[in-house]
Structure 1
Amino acid sequence: MRVMKWSMIALAVAAGTSQLAIASSQDESKGFLEDSKLNVKTRMLYFSRDFRNNDRDDEGNRQSRAEETGLGFVGTYESGFTQGTVGVGFDAVGMLGLKLDSGKGRAGTGLFPTALDGRSQDDYSKAGAAAKFRISDTVLKVGDQFTALPVFATDDSRLLPEIAQGGLITSNEIKGLTLHAGRFTSLTAQAETNRDSFRLKEADVLGGTYAITDSLSTSVYYSHVEDHFRKWYGNVNWALPISDKQGLVFDFNIYDTKSIGQNLTGAWVKKADGSNKLDNIAASLSAAYNIGAHTFTLAFQKVSGDGDYAYGVDGGGTVFLANSIARSDFNAEDEKSWQARYDLNFAEYGIPGLTFMTRYARGTDAKTRTTDNGSEWERDIDVKYVLQEGPAKDLSFRVRQATYRSADGVYYGSSSIDELRLIVEYPLSIL
């Protein structure tokens, strides 16, 4: 689950429009070692989940509380490209997760792998590497990699991120246009070291983002996940400046999903004819109004057709919908949901690096295994501060609190959850 995923599309557009037609990226290559980058991100995460009166975790086991603390390290090395017509490079990633606090009765936050006795492992690690090739402004990367495509996006909401294995082509040959084509054959979950955590057979992806103007962009993507589903995704993002300190941003996202092959995903609710095939459309529309330090956002989302909007085997972040927030995605069959959100940037008041966000979302008419007319709501608060200068520049402190309620057990049978995350991150650039 991520928040405001359309902003990644905007970043992709910005990357595309920054390309100059005069000289390609490969023409400006300085060399394999000369353009190398080595970064290490440290993340300490305290995760508390109180199941309140439900007393059950996500798997249905009785547990009144899950509470753990971990320390994670993610080191990434990105080489430059060799000079010449075809540039060759190499990327590598190494990750380590350490358990700082846990207990058998408090495990299950998703921060660590779980042993056979139900306890979280003391530590775990994973690593990967990828070869890359560049011609002009087109890059082919083969091996282990993080992805942020709307139809195949790795998740980074716990201690260590997911990592995918496969090949991906990214092309920026035309100004304002970014194209992607790829095939992925396995995916390593956040709290696992197994390279095939989701038993992914094969996922083919194709699509791109085009900046029609400086303020208007659109995206279209397609994916085919063998024996699960095929998806179409579309996005339109329109930024409308009103004045120097005022503006509107409209964002529309839509997924069309249908089961294919052996239908290993299936729908949450079987139909009267016994079918459990997915055949649905999930769409969201948001409107954000910014005035100075304040941003006010309203969003509406609807799932129609057979089954819920399904994802996971194609990456835990593959849900670029407005109401996919901290705890719930509001993505059940036939569910309608709306959201009201407020953001405050304290830089306008002389405290750069300090931000505040709160939102409320409510969903109705949800069909799940437990109800044909379920409702759910969630309230989130997020406060973050990033040091702007000094020896610890970019060190960040974040508090995320979520309150979730549903009288019908819409979300995995968990009707009442209070969630708290305390996150400290420090990105260190070595090269």
Structure 2
Amino acid sequence: MRVMKWSIIALAVAAGTSQMAVASSQDESKGFIEDSKLNVKTRMLYFSRDFRNVPNGSQSRVEETGLGFLGTYESGFTQGVVGFGVDAIGMLGLKLDSGKGRAGTGLFPEGSDGRSQDDYSEGGGAVKLRISDTVLKVGNQFTALPVLATDDSRLLPEVAEGALITMDEIKGLTLHAGHFTGLNAQAQTFRDSLHLTKADVFGGTYAFTDNLSTSLYYSKVEDYWRKYYANINWALPISDDQGLVFDVNFYDTKSDGDGKVRTFDGETELDNQAYSLSAAYNIGAHTFTIAHQQITGDGDYAYGVDGGGTIFLANSVARSDFNAEDEKSWQARYDLNMASYGVPGLSFMARYVTGEGANVEGTTNGKEWERDIEAKYVLQEGPAKDLSFRVRQATYRSADGVYYGSPSIDELRLIVEYPLSIL
């Protein structure tokens, strides 16, 4: 489940445009210890879902609270033509509140008795080497590629296992090539809990100018599918406090190998296209966004085994992805940044998404809608600088059970995060 991918594309572009022709990153290395970074992020999450119109005897509510710790260590690179380094990941999740009748939020692993575990942990590491502005990392890592993206929407993130090469040798161009053999779910600790056997990915992002970039990626997930992804992102400044941003995303997915994922009728393999087009207008503290998304061909736009974040489409929001076969959806969104009104760090968001024409079991014209409201405040200074408080409320309705048979729900998340930089 992802929401608006512009920030990831912007980071990729920034990485490419920041390269200088006169010296590579490896030339400027200060050393293994000198460039080391150690960060710990603490997240407390209250998660509640109230299911509506559920059959008698079915669970009507899930509600749990947890505390997560994510520690990441990134060494620098040794000096010389080839630099060597290591990365390490340590994660711990603690159950603060739950119950047998309220479990099932996806925050914690569940036992055979239906109860959430009191705690869970996971650790991993990776070795890396750098030549010039090219980095190879082998081991456990987080990924943010449009065809393989680890999800971080619960207490602790997914972790991928494999090798990834990132090249920034040409100004404005960032290339990726990867081979992955495992992916751990957010609330599981055993290896490859998402059942990925092999995924090969390749692609990159190129910035034609500071305001115009494009991306193209390919992936092949063994026994599931092959995907193509394309993106165009264009920012058009109008004045000092006004601007437009256009973003186009496109996926082409086709079953491959055993074709373990099929269409809703269970008979046809995946062969579909998914695209979204969004336009955002910013004026001062206000941003107004409209978006359209459509799925065509056979089957839903499928993802998950290749990462819970591998859906860079505009209408993938808090609860639904609006990604059913033949579904068309529209979004209207409003963002408010209170810094312009003297309250830096405070922001609000509201959006409404509606979809129709979905081919799902029981109907060929399924409909669904979702309304999301969010408020967030980030401390700007003081000893607790960067401590953030966020409230997210989602209302989802579908009499047709469009989102994988899901009933209508009311959802509430309260999130407190504190990132601490130790080194």
Question: Partner amino acid for 1:341?
Answer: R
| C-alpha contact (below 8 Å) 1:55/1:65 kept by paired residues | no
Q: CA deviation at 1:55?
A: 5.4
Q: Which residue number in structure 1 is paired with residue 75 of structure 2?
A: 79
Question: Partner amino acid for 1:162?
Answer: E
Runs of 4+ aligned structure 1 residues displaced above 3 Å come to none
Deviations 1:361-382 (A, max 9, x none): 0000001123211000000001
| C-alpha contact (below 8 Å) 1:269/1:367 kept by paired residues | no
Residue 318 of structure 2 is aligned to residue 363 of structure 1: no
Output the CA distance in 2 between the equivalents of 1:268 and 1:232: 22
Output the CA distance in 2 between the equivalents of 1:276 and 1:333: 12
Q: CA deviation at 1:107?
A: 0.2
| C-alpha contact (below 8 Å) 1:289/1:297 kept by paired residues | yes
Q: CA deviation at 1:282?
A: 0.2
Q: CA deviation at 1:330?
A: 0.1
Output the CA distance in 1 between the equivalents of 2:353 and 2:131: 46
Q: Which residue number in structure 2 is paired with residue 156 of structure 1?
A: 152
Q: Which residue number in structure 2 is paired with residue 30 of structure 1?
A: 30
Q: Which residue number in structure 2 is paired with residue 44 of structure 1?
A: 44
Output the CA distance in 1 between the equivalents of 2:215 and 2:265: 31
Output the CA distance in 1 between the equivalents of 2:13 and 2:265: 38
Output the CA distance in 2 between the equivalents of 1:53 and 1:100: 29
Q: Work out which of the residue numbers 54, 57, 70 in structure 1 matches 2:66.
A: 70
Output the CA distance in 2 between the equivalents of 1:175 and 1:414: 46
Q: CA deviation at 1:276?
A: 2.2
Deviations 1:321-352 (A, max 9, x none): 00000000000000000000000000000000
Query: How high is the sequence identity, in percent, across the aligned residues?
Result: 78
Question: Partner amino acid for 2:373?
Answer: I
Question: Partner amino acid for 1:430?
Answer: I
Q: Which residue number in structure 2 is paired with residue 261 of structure 1?
A: 257
Deviations 1:261-287 (A, max 9, x none): 0001222234xxxx3200000000000
Q: Which residue number in structure 2 is paired with residue 182 of structure 1?
A: 178
Output the CA distance in 1 between the equivalents of 2:170 and 2:107: 41
Q: Which residue number in structure 2 is paired with residue 399 of structure 1?
A: 391
Output the CA distance in 1 between the equivalents of 2:406 and 2:149: 26
CA RMSD of aligned residues (A): 0.9
Q: CA deviation at 1:53?
A: 2.3
Question: Partner amino acid for 1:320?
Answer: F
Q: Which residue number in structure 1 is paired with residue 244 of structure 2?
A: 248
1:16 alignment partner, SS class? helix
Output the CA distance in 2 between the equivalents of 1:32 and 1:319: 36
2:363 alignment partner, SS class? coil
Question: Partner amino acid for 1:281?
Answer: Q
Output the CA distance in 1 between the equivalents of 2:344 and 2:161: 38
1:408 alignment partner, SS class? coil
Question: Partner amino acid for 2:19?
Answer: Q
Structure 1: 5+ residue runs without aligned partners?
none
Question: Partner amino acid for 2:22?
Answer: I
1:116-127 aligned at under 5 Å gives the runs 116-127=112-123
Output the CA distance in 2 between the equivalents of 1:258 and 1:236: 22
Residue 301 of structure 2 is aligned to residue 313 of structure 1: no
Output the CA distance in 2 between the equivalents of 1:191 and 1:415: 23
Q: Which residue number in structure 1 is paired with residue 131 of structure 2?
A: 135
Residue 222 of structure 2 is aligned to residue 230 of structure 1: no
1:163-174 aligned at under 5 Å gives the runs 163-174=159-170
Output the CA distance in 2 between the equivalents of 1:104 and 1:344: 39
Q: CA deviation at 1:199?
A: 1.5
| C-alpha contact (below 8 Å) 1:231/1:255 kept by paired residues | yes
Residue 13 of structure 2 is aligned to residue 21 of structure 1: no
Question: Partner amino acid for 2:333?
Answer: R
Deviations 1:44-83 (A, max 9, x none): 0000000022259xxxx81010000000000000000000
Question: Partner amino acid for 2:375?
Answer: V
TM-score by length of 1: 0.97
Question: Partner amino acid for 1:269?
Answer: D
Deviations 1:365-407 (A, max 9, x none): 0011232110000000010000000000000000000000001
Q: CA deviation at 1:2?
A: 1.7
Question: Partner amino acid for 1:11?
Answer: L
Paired positions, count:
423
Output the CA distance in 2 between the equivalents of 1:382 and 1:370: 33
Output the CA distance in 2 between the equivalents of 1:245 and 1:268: 47
Structure 2: 5+ residue runs without aligned partners?
none
Q: Which residue number in structure 2 is paired with residue 303 of structure 1?
A: 295
1:375-394 aligned at under 5 Å gives the runs 375-394=367-386
Question: Partner amino acid for 2:40?
Answer: V
Greater Cα offset, 7-16 or 353-362:
7-16
Deviations 1:231-285 (A, max 9, x none): 0000000000000000000000000000010001222234xxxx32000000000
Residue 143 of structure 2 is aligned to residue 147 of structure 1: yes
Q: Which residue number in structure 2 is paired with residue 373 of structure 1?
A: 365
Q: Work out which of the residue numbers 324, 345, 364 in structure 2 matches 1:353.
A: 345
1:275-294 aligned at under 5 Å gives the runs 275-294=267-286
Output the CA distance in 1 between the equivalents of 2:151 and 2:361: 26
Q: Work out which of the residue numbers 84, 90, 93 in structure 2 matches 1:94.
A: 90
TM-score by length of 2: 0.99
